[in-house]
Amino acid sequence: MSTTKHARIGEEVWKSRVDKVNAELVTLTYGSIVQQLCKDLEGDYTEVNKQLDKMGYNIGLRLIEDFLAKTNMGRCNGFRDTAESIAKIGFKIFLNITPTVTNWSADNKSFSLVFEENPLADFVELPDDGRAQNELWYSNILCGVLRGALEMVQMQVEAHFASDVLRGNDSTEMRVELIRIIDDELPPGDE
C-alpha cells in the first residue's frame, strides 16, 4: 500500500467513525495519572516508566480490536507497511496526530517515530528535581500501547523513547524494533 493511501484511510476513519473527546480532558487526565504515579512510587521514575508502559500494554491489547474494527484493515505487507499504518492510521484515528516514520535500520527491523505534536504532553513541565529530566519518559504509555497492540497481531516489538522535547531535546522520538513474528501460539500474559 502506498503511504498516501494510509493517510487517506486515517483521515477518513478519523472523520467518520471515531467518537471524539475533548483534548484538554485527555491531556489533564493523563497528566493526573502520571503525577499520581510519581507520588505513589516516591519519585522512582524508572518504576513510573515501567508502570506507564504496562498500562499502555493493557490498553494496546484491547485497542487493536477497535483499530481493526474501525479501519477494516487487512494484513500488513511487511514491517514497513506496519510502520506506516501505525503512524498514519493508528495515531491519526486515536490521537489525531501523524508522527513521521524515519531512521530505518539497514535490516528494516527498526524505525523511529518522530512526534511533532503530542497531545499527552501539552502544558506539561517535568518535575524540577534534577532527576525527572534524565529519568522520566513522560509519554511512555504510548510505547506500551504499541507493544500490546502489535503483540495481538503476532508481532513482538520493543519500543522506547529516545528523546523528548519535555527533557529539553530537540525532538520527541520513539524507537520501535521488531523482535520476532510470533508463530501460532497464544500471547503470553493474555487475560
String of contacts with other proteins for each residue 83-102, x by CB under 8 A: --------------------
User: 1 to 40, contacts with other proteins by CB under 8 A?
Assistant: 20-22, 24-25, 28-29, 31-33, 35-36, 40
Burial of 3 per CB tally in 10 Å (0-12, 13-18, 19+)? middle
- Residue identified by cell 474494527 is 69
Does residue 42 come out as left (phi exceeding 0), alpha (psi in the -120 to 50 range) or beta? Answer: left
46 binds other proteins (CB under 8 A): no
From candidates 51, 71, 85, 140, binder to other proteins by CB under 8 A: 51
Give the angle subtended at the CA of 178 by the CAs of 176 and 181, to the nearest 5°.
150
Minimum CB distance to other proteins, residue 186 (Å): 19
CA 162 to chain centre: 13
Q: Which residues bind other proteins (CB under 8 A)?
A: 20-22, 24-25, 28-29, 31-33, 35-36, 40-41, 47, 51, 55, 58
